[in-house]
Amino acid sequence: MSGESATGLLMWDEAVTRYDFGPSHPMDPVRLALTMGLVRAFGLDRAMEVRAAPAAGDSTLRLVHREDYVAAVREVSEDPGVADGSYGLGTMDDPAFHGMHEASALIAGQSVAGAEALWHGEVEHAVNFAGGLHHAMPGGAAGFCVYNDASLAIARLLELGAERVAYVDVDVHHGDGVQAAFWDDPRVLTISMHEHPRTLFPQTGWPEETGGPEAEGSAVNIALPAGTGDEGWLRAFHAVVPELLADFGPQVLVTQHGADTHFEDPLAHLAVSLDAQRAVQEACHRLAHEYADGRWLALGGGGYAVVDVVPRSWTHLVGIAAHRPVDPQAAVPASWRDEVYARTRQLAPARMTDGRTPSWPDWDAGYDPADRTDQAVLATRRAVFPLRGMLT
């Protein structure tokens, strides 16, 4: 099915795979192509409307990014050889490449168009798994991110008249760029759950970061100890996020689903399974219906186990947003396994599960002050909840 009958929008233009920092960079765009391949193998492209939006134009980029930064991106995009590290361009993390501006603006355009469609009531849910580039700052590239599509989508919603937008980021890294963009704006509640800044880039996202003087309590950070697994990760999410959303009452929920929390991810140190990632995706979907009239923009993000983890995780995300969730027990279609082998010479996983059945002890049943996950949750609740007039 397509068009009016679909409740959800899947933003996709093959050209987003031109967001490519080169062969030795961990953010291999094959992860996007393989995700779309797996989405198609499960027929989910027929359960959502697949739409390609135009690249974000200058007036949109300017909602978040400084004019001189956009000009610098354009310059290195035409001639990558001139990138010298200024504006974060031409660094190890963000090497310049030909067409960088166009590919980055195209990804941003998908998130912005998804947000517009939700706001206008065209669809309830929109997914852009190529997006979630949450480290990009108003005036510079950082952490594999050039333009901050998440911030741009939120800024566009505000421009259209939204008064309360909630952003929930479960990437293993702190959503620092989105937090920075709305640091002093009480209309945007940013919640990031990540590995503790003591052990991971970008070394921010401490619980004490709670928003600027005009927006105290609008930034929320849950900093989890390295090694946190399914139970702790899910417990922390449920001990913080639902209460805050209930209190804030967002008109739109924007979520970032970086898959780099996974135990196989090479760049970080949490130990989360695909099954727990899927459980949080389902929770975000439920929370969107419960607190945001169903308006849900779901984005991708990090994820560097590009064959074993990312495509399965985000295919689950698309299935959930399409109201056609993929059974974790489902076998991975043989056609996709062949595609994986042809493209990467690696063997694809066989099932849509890691074989875990995630569960977690409910926060309301009590906590253990000696437990490190509970200490992290307490630090967040104590830092933020009183600022919002909520009980810790």
For 31, which DSSP code? Answer: H
Q: Which residues bind Zn ion (CB under 5 A)?
A: 171, 173, 258, 260, 302
Residue 296 beta carbon to Zn ion: minimum distance, rounded to whole angstroms? 7
- Distance, in Å, from the CA atom of 99 to the CA atom of 245, rounded to the nearest integer, reads 39
Residues labelled as active-site residues: 135
**C-beta of 232 vs 258, nearer to Zn ion:** 258
| Parallel, antiparallel or unpaired: strands 165-169 and 125-128 | unpaired
Phi and psi, residue 7, nearest 5°: -85, -15
**Largest pairwise CA distance in the chain:** 59
Looking at the DSSP bridge assignments, the partners of residue 126 are: 9, 297
Contacting residues for 334 by C-beta, under 8 A, at least 6 apart: none
Least distance to Zn ion, CB of residue 172, Å:
5
For residues 344 and 240, give the distance between their C-alpha atoms in angstroms, rounded to a whole number: 39
Q: Closer to Zn ion by CB, 316 or 381: give it.
A: 316
Crossing angle of the two packed helices 67-78 and 100-119, in degrees rounded to 10: 130
At closest approach, how far in Å is the CB of 171 from Zn ion?
4
CA atoms of 198 and 109, how far apart (whole Å): 34
For Zn ion, which is the closer residue by CB, 60 or 256? 256
Nearer to Zn ion (CB atom), residue 140 or residue 258: 258
Count of Cβ atoms closer than 10 Å to residue 245 Cβ? 21
Q: Which is nearer to Zn ion, 171 or 339 (CB)?
A: 171
Nearer to Zn ion, 173 or 257 (CB): 173
Q: Which is nearer to Zn ion, 131 or 302 (CB)?
A: 302
Are 284 and 321 in contact, with CB atoms under 8 Å apart?
Answer: no
Q: Which residues contact 258 (CB under 8 A, 6 or more apart)?
A: 132, 134, 169, 170, 171, 172, 173, 300, 301, 302, 303
Residue 221 · residue 183 · CB < 8 Å: no
Single-letter amino acid code for the residue at 374: D
- Pick the closer one to Zn ion by CB: 229 or 300: 300
Q: Per DSSP, what are the bridge partners of residue 50?
A: 10
Contacts of 204 (CB under 8 A, 6+ apart): 174, 176, 179, 197
CB of 183 within 8 A of CB of 211? yes
Residue 258: CB minimum distance to Zn ion, A? 4
Number of H helices and number of E strands within the chain? 11, 8
For the CB of residue 65, give the shortest distance to Zn ion in the complex, in Å: 20
Question: Which tokens in the block code for residue 172?
Answer: 């293993």
Residue 104 · residue 61 · CB < 8 Å = no
Task: Please confirm whether the linkage preceding 202 is cis (ω < 30° from 0).
Answer: yes
> Which residue, judged by CB position, is nearest to Zn ion in the bound state?
302
Minimum gap (Å) between residue 310 Cβ and Zn ion: 11
CB of 150 to Zn ion, least distance (A): 12
